[in-house]
Chains A and B, each alone.
Chain A
Amino acid sequence: MSAGLTAPVAMTARTSRLSAVIREMLSRPSGCIGLFLVIAHVALALFSPFFAPFDFKAMNANAILAPPDSTHWLGTDQLGRDILTRTIMGGRQAILVTAIATPLAVAWGGLLGIYLGLAGGRLDDILMRVVDAFLALPWILKMLLMIVTFGTGVGVLVPTLAFFYGIPVIRIARAATQNIVARDFVLAARARGHSRVSIMRRELFGNVLDALMVEGAMRWSWMLLAFTSLSFLGFGVSPPTPDWGLMIADSRNFMAIAPWPAFAPVIALSSLIIGINLTADALAKALGIDRAQAAVH
């Protein structure tokens, strides 16, 4: 009746969670395509200055709005600049700014959301109404207000985007936290007398991280669109720096006679955003069946 030690059970070795998730993502077409697009765009942003066929500033008076040919593969714009060069370099500013702003947005929105989800009470009530009010305003209005007040440039755009895009993250993190807080292991930690910070760090953070990662990927694509829209309106990157939003805005006037200058940046932007969305989708699915929830076989 008195038992000895329970016999050890056959189990898989502990593998790194990250590699398991990536493997799971690559097992789906959406994950393969999405990761390929994102990695390709990031690589272009990093290395395009080294292999761009032309100088992005070089104007050619002999080839204004020239259609694609063997010299200018994607044609030239209204100033005779090479569109291929400007397209592969046009994402650099957008990707740089958003790649810094996204983690910042997820970090502050996530932390505040987790705290509010755990603490609840009056502070939670008040802050969530403020969040609602913020989300009710059109984003473009808020962004323009900041830019008009503080000017443009990376130093302004990064904190502005990080601030405004962190606000919806609060909601997501708070909702995810409330699901976890209701579970017995958080109750057990409270009953043991752990402090709030300790509960956030030990019990909540790891369980909310999945939702935050997926949310971060989604926020990134929204931020890219916002950044490009600002450039399109003339509040983002200043000429002659190549930028997709700016390129689309410039080529707008010549659409009827020369449509190609608009095509390349539009395709570049869409492929990046589609890539990010597919990655986020695959990530969500891969995290959904992660090791912590999978049975041993």
Chain B
Amino acid sequence: MTGDVLIDVQNLSIGFTGRSGKLLPVLRNIDLGVRRGESVGIVGESGSGKSTLALAMMGYLKHGLRVISGQSLFGGRDLLAMPSRDLQRIRGGKIALIPQNSGQSLSPNLRVGAQLTESLALHGKVTSSGIPQRVTELLQQVRLPDPAAIAIRYPHELSGGQQQRVAIAMALAGDPEALLLDEPTTGLDVTTQAHILELLSDIAVRLNKAMVYVSHDLGAIARVCSRVVVMYAGEIVLDGDATTVLTNPDHPYARGLLASIPRLGNPNLPMALEGRPPPPGDAGPGCSFVDRCAIAEASCRSERPGLQPLLAGGRVRCRLHERAGSIPTKRAGKPASAGGSFGEPLVRLSNLAISYARQSLVDQLLGRKPQGVPTVDRVDIEIRQGEVIGLVGESGSGKSTILKAVAGLVGPANGEIAYDKSGALPATVEQRRPEQLREIQLIFQNPDESLNPRHTIEQILAQPLQLYFGLSGDALRERSIAILERVRLGAHYLDRLPSQLSGGEKQRVAIARAFAAKPKLVLCDEVTSALDVSVQAAVLDLLDQLRRDSGTTYVFVSHDLAVVRALSDRVAVLYQGRLCEIGPAAAVYSRPCHPYTEALLGAVLEPDPGARPVLMAEDIMELSPPAKGCPFQRRCHRKVEAICESMTPPQQDAGAGHIIHCHIPIGELTSVQTMSALDNVVRPHVQ
């Protein structure tokens, strides 16, 4: 039911003037038409130009960018050459943008209803008497329960998912013909994300709008889009229907990208796509992907391939696309170096509780402990020498807090952390012995934050080497180079600054800094979350290699269940700072027992249009864990009323160290599973 071409980008090239004075293109010869009723996904790694293209479709160029050639038509008129008065009328009224992080684009001091009223009045498509009713309608359309109650709230009183729904309602307020979505679910929790995507794909079908969805996440694209465009180094390299592009694409880059995505059903490490795209203006005369291509020939270097039509529909920019099928897309990687036989326990968290509650003045005067429910409570985890234990959970699950407690950056309110044979670890860094400090190292999520921007790589690596080993001069330099080589970087990196490295290289430096201390235990806090998917695979591979070489124990924290699956031997699932389930990775993933694990795994998005997430838990806002009973009681779909609210769930052993904290009897948990039951109802067409 697709209609006429609404958005039509013709031969568009956009660039900026570099320091050298040369014009550097970020988009090159883009041809793309989007029809009414069609939802097109634009995917690519950071720097591929996907956001620039989406913004150009609204006639917007970021500061410093200018049009080199071509035009961006909307309904036949070039937006990039239009006076700003006309553009204002088109934006919001005819094309609406739903940005990433909508919470920040809502005005914090206006009630939701007032903001919607404002944008309805602005577009003037509804009479002023009809506005209140239209507000209710819009909030219903984005499936917010109880629109009247939501309308009188302020944005900060809504959860991240609800804010995103309000932003979608705002975009729909002007009744636009086209919707542009720029990473609309990035940064949301998996369960929330799945709900929002469900809503978006429903809107796309029901309202017959042209939709452009920009994302780095192929799983999200698979849920919403019927057609997918893959971008690389400012060019469209592949354009086709979603099923083909996401399962059996004709371009080597798209195949590599698919292979680099960790998947729930695949316990192997994903396959890394080495190298990086050429920076703007640096692409040679040939194909821009040639340096990373597995099937490239000499002629690919000299001749730039055109975007040629495929027999089965779609377009591809590859001269050898008939041969691309030989590159594997799934189940390609090798298995992580799993142990099986692990040594002595290295770390034992027993009855650990951590509280961020601060002592109030009254508490101080009365000499009381701070009031309030602790952020992390009753956590018992034993970590054995040489294993990788994954901690998973949504934001607020306390996984990073636990890492900080092990690293000595926050002191536990209760319980203890026993380390190696030396007994309980002192609570804070200041009290620990140098040896203990050296043996426990931390790697952070974002290398831009964890590397001092003013230090060269040499200075960064020197810090642990000087502190723990007292190295200096040639010995220091030699050791630094040896460590850089272990993370697959060369000596020429030593005198660079972090800003001169790519995201993946920076994270490797951060890993090198941690391993420079010769640690026994490495705490990885979302170490791949800030990286592109192809880079993520390389970093996972590196971590696995280092573990194999040095027998280091990892605690691996991530919100991405598939990443944890690829690397971990055992997995602990946390909710609101309480342990839900812990056990061998294979057991937890293949047979999730705790209702929260089930909900979490069900919501994971696979980059496959056929695999539909199963939505179980409501995406309501949880500000603090409940004072008593089960932490998951408010969202649980299998709640056994009274007991869940009053009693702490018992530990139940499902065998082989698989422990579940739930009131439902173990037999019932392992045999009846909602997910498989739902499976048959919701997705009869799959498999």
A residues touching B (Cβ–Cβ < 8 Å)?
A: 1-11, 14, 183-185, 187-194, 202-203, 206-207, 291-297
5 A–B pairs (Cβ distance < 8 Å), ordered by A: A4-B488, A6-B505, A11-B500, A183-B450, A192-B517
Nearest-neighbor residue (CB-CB) of B334 within chain A: A1
A1→B333 contact, CB < 8 A: yes
A5–B508 Cα distance when bound, in Å, is: 12
A5, A188, A194: the one within 8 Å of B444 (CB): A188
Interface pair B429/A193, CB less than 8 Å apart: yes
Q: Are A6 and B463 in contact (CB under 8 A)?
A: no
Q: Report the minimum CB–CB distance from A293 to chain B (whole Å).
A: 6
Given contacts A5-B488, A202-B463, A292-B497, 4 further A-B contacts (CB under 8 A): A184-B449, A185-B449, A188-B442, A194-B463
| B453 in complex: contacting residue of A188, A190, A207, CB < 8 Å | A207
Contact B452 A296 (CB under 8 A): no
Task: Using A296-B499, A297-B20 as known contacts, say yes or no to A192 and B463 having CB atoms under 8 A apart.
Answer: yes
Shortest CB-to-CB span from B233 to chain A, Å, is: 15
| In contact, B452 and A203 (Cβ under 8 angstroms) | yes
- Chain B residues whose C-beta falls within 8 Å of the C-beta of A203 in the assembled complex: 452
CB distance from B214 to the nearest CB of A (A): 21
Given contacts A6-B505, A184-B449, A192-B463, contact A297 B24 (CB under 8 A): yes
> Which of A11, A14, A187, A191 is most buried by chain B, counting CB atoms within 10 A of its CB?
A191
CB <8 Å contact, A184 and B500: no
Number of A-B residue pairs with CB-CB distance less than 8 Å in the complex they form: 108
Query: Would you call A184 and B446 a contact (CB within 8 A)?
Result: yes
* Alpha-carbon distance A293/B453, docked complex (angstroms): 7
Contacts of B453 in A (CB 8 A): 207, 292-293
Does any Cβ of A come within 8 Å of B451's Cβ? yes
B272 & A1 in contact (Cβ 8 Å cutoff): yes
**In the bound complex, CA of A14 to CA of B500 (Å):** 11
Min distance, Cβ B674 to any Cβ of chain A, angstroms: 38
The 4 tightest CB contacts between A and B, nearest first, are A193-B437, A184-B450, A206-B454, A184-B449
For B15-45 the 0/1 string (1 means CB < 8 A from A) is 0001110001000000000000000000000
Would you call the interface of chain A mostly helix, strand, loop, or mixed?
loop
State in angstroms the CA–CA spacing of A185 and B24 once bound together: 33
Contacts of A184 in B (CB 8 A): 444-446, 449-450
Chain B contributes a number of interface residues (CB within 8 A of A) equal to: 56
Closest chain-A Cβ to B282's Cβ sits at a distance in Å of: 7
Task: A1 to B274: give the CA distance in the assembly, Å.
Answer: 8
The answer on a CB contact under 8 Å between B495 and A14 is yes
Shortest beta-carbon distance, B471 to chain A, in Å?
A: 15
Beyond A191-B429, A193-B429, A292-B453, whether A3 also contacts B409 by CB under 8 A is no
The answer for the CA separation of A188 and B443 in the assembled complex, in Å, is 8
Cα A190 to Cα B463 in complex, Å, equals: 12
Q: Specify the chain A residue showing the minimal Cβ separation from B453.
A: A292
How far is B432's CA from A202's CA once the two chains are assembled, in angstroms?
Answer: 22
| Contact string against A for B residues 490-531, beta-carbon threshold 8 Å, 1 for contact and 0 otherwise | 101001110111100100000001000100000000000000
| A190: chain B residues within 8 A (beta carbon) | 409, 429
- Contacts A3-B272, A8-B490 given: A185-B452 contact, CB under 8 Å? yes
Report the minimum CB–CB distance from A180 to chain B (whole Å).
9
- Taken residue by residue from 329 to 340, chain B's Cβ proximity to chain A (1 for < 8 Å, 0 otherwise) reads as 000011000000
CA distance A8 to B459 in the complex (A): 19
Whether, in the assembled complex, B381 has its beta carbon less than 8 Å from a beta carbon of chain A, the answer is: no
Cβ–Cβ contact B429 & A3, under 8 A: no
Please state if B500 and A5 are interface contacts (CB–CB under 8 Å). no
Name the residue of chain B whose CB is nearest to the CB of A210: B454
Of the candidates A14, A187, A188, A297, the one having the most CB atoms from chain B within 10 angstroms of its own CB is A188
Q: Please measure, in the bound complex, the distance between the C-alpha atom of A207 and the C-alpha atom of B449, giving whole angstroms.
A: 13
Which residue of B291, B445, B467, B485 is within 8 Å of A5 (Cβ)?
A: B485
Which positions in B face A, CB cutoff 8 Å?
18-20, 24, 271-272, 274-275, 279-280, 282, 291, 333-334, 407-409, 429, 432, 434, 437-438, 441-442, 444-446, 449-455, 459, 463-464, 467, 485, 488-490, 492, 495-497, 499-502, 505, 513, 517, 538, 541, 545
Contact of B500 among A188, A189, A192, A296 (CB under 8 A): A296
**Distance (Å) between the CB of B522 and the closest chain A CB?**
12
Complex Cα spacing A5 to B492, Å:
11
Question: Given A3-B272, A293-B499, A296-B279: A193 and B434 within 8 A (CB)?
Answer: yes
State whether A297 and B500 are in contact (beta carbons under 8 Å apart), knowing that A191-B429, A207-B453 are contacts in the complex: no
| A188 with B488: CB separation less than 8 A | no
B contact residues around A8 at 8 Å (CB): 490, 492
User: Given the complex, which residues of A lie within 8 Å of B467, measured CB to CB?
Assistant: 192-194
Q: Closest residue of chain A to B275, judged by CB?
A: A7
Which chain B positions have C-beta within 8 A of A293?
453, 499
A176 and B461 alpha carbons, distance in the complex (Å): 25
User: Which of chain B's residues have a CB closer than 8 A to the CB of A185?
Assistant: 449-452
- The residues of A that contact B279 with a CB separation of less than 8 Å are 10, 296-297
Chain B residues with CB under 8 Å of A10's CB are 279, 282
Whole-angstrom distance between the Cβ of B32 and the nearest chain A Cβ: 27
CA–CA, A3 to B485, complex, Å? 11
* Contact A191/B409 with A184-B449, A292-B454, A292-B497 known, Cβ cut-off 8 Å: yes
| Identity of the chain B residue whose Cβ is nearest the Cβ of A4 in the assembled complex | B488
Instruction: Please state if A291 and B497 are interface contacts (CB–CB under 8 Å).
Output: yes
> Residue among B291, B408, B453 with the most chain A CB within 10 A?
B453
Q: A190-B409, A193-B432, A297-B19 are in contact. Are A292 and B499 (CB under 8 A)?
A: yes
Closest residue on chain B to residue A193 by CB atoms: B437
CA distance A59 to B459 in the complex (A): 63
Instruction: Report the Cα distance A188→B445, complex, angstroms.
Output: 12
Q: How far is the CA of A10 from the CA of B429 in the complex (A)?
A: 40
Chain B residue nearest in CB terms to A194: B467
Please name the residue on chain A nearest to B430 by beta carbon: A193
> How many angstroms from the CA of A186 to the CA of B279 in the assembled complex?
31
A194 to B455, CA, bound (A): 16
What is the bound-complex CA distance between A5 and B442, given in angstroms? 24
Given contacts A292-B454, A297-B20, contact A183 B449 (CB under 8 A): yes
CB of B377, distance to nearest CB on chain A (Å)? 23
Task: Determine if B442 and A191 form an interchain contact, defined as CB atoms under 8 angstroms apart.
Answer: yes
Contacts of A6 in B (CB 8 A): 274-275, 488-490, 505
- Which of chain B's residues have a CB closer than 8 A to the CB of A194? 463, 467
Q: Smallest distance from the beta carbon of A114 to chain B beta carbons, Å?
A: 14
CB < 8 Å: which of A3, A14, A189, A296 contacts B488? A3
